[in-house]
Amino acid sequence: MSLIPAYFEKLKELNAMNSPPLRKVPVDLIRETFRTMQPERSEVKVAEVKDMVISTKSHRVPVRLYLPSIGTKMPVVLMYHGGGWVIGDLTTVDGQCRHVCAGTGAMVVAVDYRLAPEHRFPTAAEDCYAVLRWASESIGEFGGDASRIAVAGDSAGGNLAAVVAQMSRDRGGPPIVCQLLVYPVIDGTNFDTRSYVENAIGFGLSRDDMMWFWDQYTDKADRANPYASPIHADTLKNLPPALVMTAEYDVLRDEGEAYGERLKEEGVDAEVIRYDGFIHGFFGETDVIPDTRQAMNQACYMLNRHLWN
In the prediction, which pLDDT does 61 show? 97
In the prediction, which pLDDT does 271 show? 98
In the prediction, which pLDDT does 217 show? 98
270 forms beta bridges with 242
In the prediction, which pLDDT does 2 show? 93
- The C-alpha atoms of residue 151 and residue 110 are separated, in whole angstroms, by 10
Given the residues 136, 155, 168, 195, the one annotated as active site:
155
Q: Whole-number mean pLDDT of the chain?
A: 96
Judge if the upstream peptide bond of residue 230 is cis by omega within 30 degrees of 0: no
Instruction: Verify whether residue 222 is a known catalytic residue.
Output: no
58 forms beta bridges with none
In the prediction, which pLDDT does 153 show? 98
Nearest residue to 284 via CA among 256, 247, 243: 247
Q: Taking CA 217 as the corner, what is the angle to CA 179 and CA 94, rounded to the nearest 5 degrees? A: 50
- The C-alpha atoms of residue 231 and residue 126 are separated, in whole angstroms, by 18
- The C-alpha atoms of residue 247 and residue 256 are separated, in whole angstroms, by 10
In the prediction, which pLDDT does 10 show? 92
Nearest residue to 175 via CA among 150, 199, 154, 153: 150
Instruction: Verify whether residue 155 is a known catalytic residue.
Output: yes
Given the residues 112, 209, 250, 254, the one annotated as active site:
250
In the prediction, which pLDDT does 241 show? 98
Given the residues 112, 195, 254, 280, the one annotated as active site:
280
Burial class of residue 184, CB neighbours in 10 A (0-12, 13-18, 19+): buried
pLDDT tens, the chain, 309 aa long: 799 999 999 999 888 888 888 889 999 999 999 999 999 999 999 999 999 999 988 889 999 999 998 888 999 999 999 999 999 999 999 999 999 999 999 999 999 999 999 999 999 999 999 999 999 999 999 999 999 999 999 999 999 999 999 999 999 999 999 999 999 999 999 999 999 999 999 999 999 999 999 999 999 999 999 999 999 999 999 999 999 999 999 999 999 999 999 999 999 999 999 999 999 999 999 999 999 999 999 999 999 999 998
Contact status, residue 151 vs residue 176, Cβ threshold 8 Å: yes
Residue 100 backbone phi and psi in degrees, to 5: -65, -40
